[in-house]
Amino acid sequence: MDLAIETNMLSKRYGRQTAINRASIHVKTGRIYGLLGRNGAGKTTIMKMMLGLASPTAGEIQMFGKKLVGNQKEIYPRIGSIVEVPGFYPNLTGTENLKVFAKLRGMIKKDAVKEALEKVNLPYNDKKKFAAYSLGMKQRLGIANAILNDPELLILDEPTNGLDPIGIAEVRAYLRKLSGSYGKTILISSHILSEIALMADDVGIIHEGVLLEESSIAELNKRNEKYVSVEVSDVSLAARVLEKSVGQNFEVVSENALRIYGSRRSVSDINRVLVEAGVEVSELIAHRANLEDYFKRITGGVGIA
């Protein structure tokens, strides 16, 4: 499948601090890619580098199969974006704001502003100034601005921030429609795991500037179908036994509890191995893992929020 965005060992340093460390991201054409990470993980920095708002310290960005450097004039008009908060002129109405950006963009359809506002359920030619907009309305206007030029690729940094649950669901449905029906590619960042799980086709998990995992949601779900939680009397002895029997595929979650991931052994088999080794097993339950558990595991135990 063609890649709309490809980064190769992308790095960004601010002085001695490494914000992004050799991230290689692959966003496939026509799909929704969720960049998932905690606040400060580096999601916005990656997007800023893609949009030319920050320059990479090392590495390369390709978009639509072309190197970004030297092809910005050709590439950027094909992209719509929201980065950080939706920034608009507070003294102008939503319509006037979009007209300013339409003017800056130049060649767009005559009714583009009206259509974009209608798509996000905002009124055209109303009198309300942007300064008086609610956070939800501001986000909608940000999305309207991003789709103003009917872009092939949308880069959206936390676009559902501040939206109520119904608003989030509407934006999610709209973005899915854009991708599914119109073949748009969408790179969306979020720290809300459930949002990415519901919206994205592919996911990249970023933590402290490092892209830890890149996979499709379907693949992740499949891989994390099961885990077995075990409560034992001696967790270190149990860990040694499990290392021999199930390999490294487990983690110690507390003083007397472990989790075993993706093991082909049955629950009773695991119980037998532990008991035969002299470990007292007080509880042993088979679970279905969710994305949050997976996130915690690969980020070394920290939660998403």
Partner 1 sequence: MLRAIVAEQMKLKGNRLLFLCSAIALTLPAILVVNVEADAIGWVYRLQFLCQFFLYPILSSFVITFLIQKEYADQTIINSLTAPVARMTFLGAKLAVWLIWYLLITFGFWVIVSVRITLVFDVETLLESWGTITAMILKTGILYFCAMSPIAWIAVMQRKMFYLSLLAAFLMSSAGFAGLLTHGMMGSIVPWFAVMLLNMPNGDVVASVAYASIGTCSAVGFGLAACSFQMQEL
Provide, rounded to whole angstroms, the least separation between the CB of residue 220 and partner 1. Answer: 30
Nearest to 158 by CA among 44, 30, 279, 14: 44
**Contact by Cβ (8 Å): 116, 101:** no
Q: Does 99 interact with partner 1 (rule: CB under 8 A)?
A: yes
Q: Which residues contact 35 (CB under 8 A, 6 or more apart)?
A: 25, 43, 46, 47, 187, 188, 189, 190, 203, 204, 206
For 154, the token pair is 């949308």
β-strand pairing of 26-28 with 58-63: unpaired
Provide, rounded to whole angstroms, the least separation between the CB of residue 268 and partner 1. Answer: 58
d(CA 153, CA 170): 19
d(CA 107, CA 104): 9
Q: According to CB under 8 A, which one of 1, 15, 70, 106 is a site residue for partner 1?
A: 106
- The amino acid sitting at 105 is R
Closer to partner 1 by Cβ: residue 77 or 162: 77
Closer to partner 1 by Cβ: residue 109 or 240: 109
Of 33-52, binders to partner 1 (CB under 8 A) are 48, 51-52
Closer to partner 1 by Cβ: residue 41 or 83: 83
The pattern of x and - marking residues 133 through 172 that bind partner 1 according to CB under 8 A reads ------------x---------------------------
Q: Does 5 interact with partner 1 (rule: CB under 8 A)?
A: no
For 23, the token pair is 């991230």
Q: According to CB under 8 A, which one of 3, 54, 267, 281 is a site residue for partner 1?
A: 54
Provide, rounded to whole angstroms, the least separation between the CB of residue 123 and partner 1. Answer: 19
Closer to partner 1 by Cβ: residue 151 or 167: 151
Q: Does 263 interact with partner 1 (rule: CB under 8 A)?
A: no
- The amino acid sitting at 233 is S
Q: According to CB under 8 A, which one of 37, 42, 86, 209 is a site residue for partner 1?
A: 86
Q: According to CB under 8 A, which one of 9, 65, 69, 89 is a site residue for partner 1?
A: 89
Q: According to CB under 8 A, which one of 28, 30, 100, 114 is a site residue for partner 1?
A: 100
Query: Which residues contact partner 1 by CB under 8 A?
Result: 48, 51-55, 72, 76-77, 79, 81, 83-92, 96, 99-101, 103-106, 145
